[in-house]
Amino acid sequence: MDRTLNLTPLTNTDWWKKTVIYSTYVDKFAGDFTKMTERLGYLSLLGIDCVHILPFYPSPFVDDGYDISNYCDVRKELGTLDDFATFTAEAHRRGIRVMIDLVLNHTSTRHPWFIEASASPKSPKRDFYLWSKTGNEYAGAANPFSVLKSSNWVANPAGDDYYFSTFYPEQADLNWNNTEVFAAMMGVIDFWTARGVDGFRLDAAAHLIKKEGTGCVSLPETHIVLKRIRAYLDAHHPGVALLGEAHGNDPISVLKSYFGDGDECHLMYHFPLVGKLFLALKRDDRSVLDPMLAESAGIPADAQWATLLRHHDEMPLSSLPKDEGNEVFDYFDAEKKYQFNLGTSLRTATMFRGNQRHILRAFELLFSVPGSPIIYYGDEIGMENISVDADERDTRRSVRGAFDWEKAERQIADPGSLFNGVAAIVKTWKAADVLVATTV
């Protein structure tokens, strides 16, 4: 590795309070990390402060990379660890921070930990996961992927028992009651911060702890784990931020709990706001947002909402009152073509039938509310949903198409394009003397 590379995080420790985050996949956006480095100029032109790289780890790719088989490497088709470090160094040179996913809840069933654990009850890694002889425990646990599996307990192919899986059957949940799991994950944090990472998106943070007689979601014990992670970061990697993902159908009061007293997540996705944003756009009535913005205030000083129109998963609508949820669903996805769970997988341009004026209005509304806004790759050039196989039950894949560079280059050259309109919105937002705390 070139030891002249700047692999340390940038110095401003509260950078996350006012930052524009661009969320993308390396392969879909650029191909590999070498080409991703070459494309950083595009992000600078758009006004991006932080790039969130969606999973790039070695993976069997059952869940588009969220089934990780090695936490401390780069998927070979995307390059090497040196390529990643070069990318991070160049991003830092341009003043762009780098955030990556930290998938805490589960590993791939092809991760060496699970392979060893499943082979024998006497394995030292056995207690890294959750096991059952009957599959009857945690009967009240949420099954978010009920469309894909009937039970959270999956038969162990290497034994006569079951392992617990919240999401895809090929994703085995980790046992966070085991202190060795915590130590292993802190080692993962150490590994990537040494390579310049400035932040971690905590995938499925609400599901970490399972407890009999509960829904196994957002338990008090989960917050204890998050406080320990935050304390570790503050002690060893100050300035490195945590972006938490909790349930899209949770009320704001529950989402606020993930900030703790300023000692858990620095940022939290504001999923309930997403549905309200689109309701306001549908009705052409910004006042729809006022009660929610008022309820969103009062978070710790060392905390911030991450606001968004879209991301790589479905748009959650179940946090809206039923009549409002139906109103948004019926307007944007009347045929339920892109329904997934209780939400819909739609790109912003698909929602507005490619109407540039309406898309820009959506971005203007996003950048008008308190928080650190996220741009999902391609939305700034009006990319739409891609076609997926007719029997594909995971409609989220329709919002994960390859970036259209020909379209992007045409728009960069056109002063009246969507890209330049979004870049102007970003520039105005960054230049404005606005409060970074979530007050209204």
Rounded distance, CA 336 to CA 330, Å? 8
Angle formed by the axes of helices 220-236 and 179-193, to 10°? 40
Rounded distance, CA 303 to CA 78, Å? 33
3-state helix, strand, coil in the chain (%, to 5): 40, 15, 50
Letter string b/e over residues 97-116, b meaning 16 or more CB atoms within 10 A of that residue's CB: bbbbbbbbbbbbbbbebbee
- Specify the CATH superfamily of domain 15-104+178-431: Glycosidases (3.20.20.80)
Query: Rg for the chain (alpha carbons), in Å?
Result: 21
pLDDT of residue 12: 81
- Distances in Å between the Cα of 154 and the Cα atoms of 124, 148, 172, 204 are 21, 12, 9, 19
**Torsion (CA) 369, 375, 380, 385 in degrees, nearest 10:** -110
- Distances in Å between the Cα of 275 and the Cα atoms of 7, 249, 255, 317, 329 are 38, 10, 15, 6, 9
Locate the domains of the chain by residue range.
Answer: 15-104+178-431
User: Which residue in the block uniquely carries the two structure tokens 């879909």?
Assistant: 28
Quick count: other Cβ atoms within 10 Å of Cβ 355?
Answer: 12
Rounded distance, CA 367 to CA 196, Å? 28
Extract the tokens encoding 319. Answer: 């946090």
pLDDT of residue 10: 67
Note whether 207 and 217 are within 8 A (CB). Answer: yes
Q: What is the pLDDT along the chain (440 residues), one digit of tens a residue?
A: 443 454 555 668 899 999 999 999 999 999 999 999 999 999 999 999 999 999 999 999 999 899 999 999 999 999 999 999 999 999 999 999 999 999 999 999 999 999 999 999 999 999 999 999 999 999 999 898 887 889 999 999 998 999 999 999 999 999 999 999 999 999 999 999 999 999 999 999 999 999 999 999 999 999 999 999 999 999 999 999 999 999 757 789 999 999 999 999 999 999 999 989 999 999 999 999 999 999 999 999 999 999 999 887 777 777 788 888 888 888 887 777 777 777 778 888 888 999 999 999 999 999 999 999 999 999 999 999 888 776 667 788 888 889 999 999 999 999 999 999 999 999 999 998 544 433 33
The residues, ordered by sequence, that sit 6+ positions from 198 with a Cβ below 8 Å of its Cβ are 9, 10, 15, 50, 97, 98, 99, 239, 240, 241
Dihedral sign from CA coordinates of 76, 79, 83, 85: negative
pLDDT of residue 433: 52
- In the beta sheet, which residues pair with residue 201? 101, 243
pTM, entire model: 0.93
Nearest to 366 by CA among 429, 411, 284: 429
pLDDT of residue 329: 82
Nearest to 311 by CA among 226, 368, 364, 248: 248
pLDDT of residue 2: 40
User: Which residue in the block uniquely carries the two structure tokens 């205030």?
Assistant: 297
The residues, ordered by sequence, that sit 6+ positions from 202 with a Cβ below 8 Å of its Cβ are 102, 104, 226, 229, 242, 243, 244, 245, 265
pLDDT of residue 390: 61
pLDDT of residue 197: 97
User: Which residue in the block uniquely carries the two structure tokens 């911060």?
Assistant: 193
φ, ψ at 256 (rounded to 5°): -60, -30
User: Hey, which residues are catalytic here?
Assistant: 203, 245
